[in-house]
Chains A and B, each alone.
Chain A
Amino acid sequence: MMTFWILGAAGLISLAVVVAQVAQYRHERTLKKWDSLLSPGSRFAIKSLEGEVQTDAAMVDDGLHGAKQAREKQNLAEAVQLLELSSEAVARATPSRLRRLKAMAVLIRMASALAPVRPLRVRDYRLRELIAVVGVAAALHQVVISALERFLLRLYVLGVGFRLTWRVMTRAHNRIVDAPAVSRSWHDYERAIEDWKTLDREHLETFKALTRSLEAEPRE
């Protein structure tokens, strides 16, 4: 009799899974999503993304550079204003990076052969929190077996990295606004900006690896 109850439970759970899948499935929406991910316009957008990464980095740097100069001249009000420019550039760019990472995690399922990716390097980062995350990920990179898992791990770490740097940056920014003369907050902000730019370059490299993987035609 026990076997029957197990069968019943397995059947009921399976029925629930199928009903859930059918209920939430929207063919047109799903197709359009995959179309937007796979259409040549977005697949071969490396050039445009490279431009975006460089522009954002320049905006962030210019704002920070100007703010530091103003601070050196003891013009703290102007320093805070210029810092806002740098902070706004990161605030505008971060959501699009996170969306792209999420899209890449879906799109990589289409690749028949994956271009290998290296783990993020601990020495490239300056924030303690990020160094810890990247270190753990580098160890995990050696443990996970498939190229797909390594790719997904890289995407995950980049996502966590962007969120971490954004949090540190926001905290440092708020402290600077409250007390622009305190050097430590400026250092924290600068370190977060440097890490954010490194993550951004790594995200570009990941995008290139994805594009190379997708260019390999699927096996028939």
Chain B
Amino acid sequence: MQSATQLAVALVAKPALLAVLVGVVQRGLYRRCWSFLVYLLAILLYTSVELTGMLFYDVPGLLWPKILWSWDFWHFQQTVYEVLKLAIAVELGVRVVAAFPGTWRLERALLAATLVSITCILTFGGAPQHPLLATGTIVLFAATSLVILFFHLPVHAWYRALLVGFVPYLFVFGTTQSILSRRGLEVAALIGSIDSVAYLALIGWWIVAAWRSEEEVTGINPAVLRRLGLARA
């Protein structure tokens, strides 16, 4: 049974996600990360379906709302989101180093090692899927950050926004919450209760990032910007 807060968050999240989507499309940011566009569309689609389930849950005689507002559907939805987040992390890793062929080998090795580890743990380690995929995504983002740090690479503002938005959120509400709830600590429930609000804050961050004007750096040769992959989309 849904709570009033869940319903309110679900209702507020839709226009907020639409604002991100419009910003991403209008500013051409989807060309910088296609996976994020797919992720946004998937959230909009699944949360709309879920909201419909919520709204019609108490209508007598209807069975389908109970399917859409159920744990099974939630697990399926979360798996899709997590796989898409992994795809975002991989695409971001590939795109950030695209202009720097000398860094490809290290980046590929780090991404491949992380993906193989996730697959092995998932297949043979018996680790719970959701926290594992969330942590795997964080590790993939960290691998890209490591390459950026190591080679002093320039990074587009949109990629930085995705890194800054996803990593803390996934760490707190993906990995940490799972560990704490497994240990039976009450703080896990507290973190769980603010998850929806934090997710709204994350969407807010994406709106800001998608709509803010591109950062201007004067005195840079446009040919260099193009070569670095940082020219305006």
Contacts and interface: CB of A to CB of B under 8 A. Distances in A.
B215 to A, nearest CB: 6
Interface stretch (A4-12, A48-56, A179-187): A4-12
A15 interface: yes
B113 interface: no
A155 B152 CA distance: 18
Interface of B: 99-103, 105, 121, 125-128, 131-132, 134-135, 138-139, 141-142, 145-146, 148-149, 151-155, 157, 160, 163-164, 167-168, 170-171, 174-176, 178-179, 182-183, 215, 217, 219-221, 224-225, 227-228, 230
Interface residues of A, number: 40
Point out which of B126, B139, B224 has the most chain A C-beta atoms below 10 A from its C-beta.
B224
Contacts of B221: 35, 38-40
A210 B75 CA distance: 52
A3 to B, nearest CB: 4
A32 B160 CA distance: 18
A22 B157 CA distance: 11
Contacts of B134: 11
A71 B139 CA distance: 66
A33 B121 CA distance: 41
Interface stretch (A107-115, A116-124, A195-203): A107-115
Contact of B101 (A10, A17, A106, A112): A112
Top-9 shortest CB links A-B: A14-B142, A109-B102, A21-B145, A11-B175, A17-B142, A109-B100, A14-B138, A3-B127, A7-B135
A141 to B, nearest CB: 18
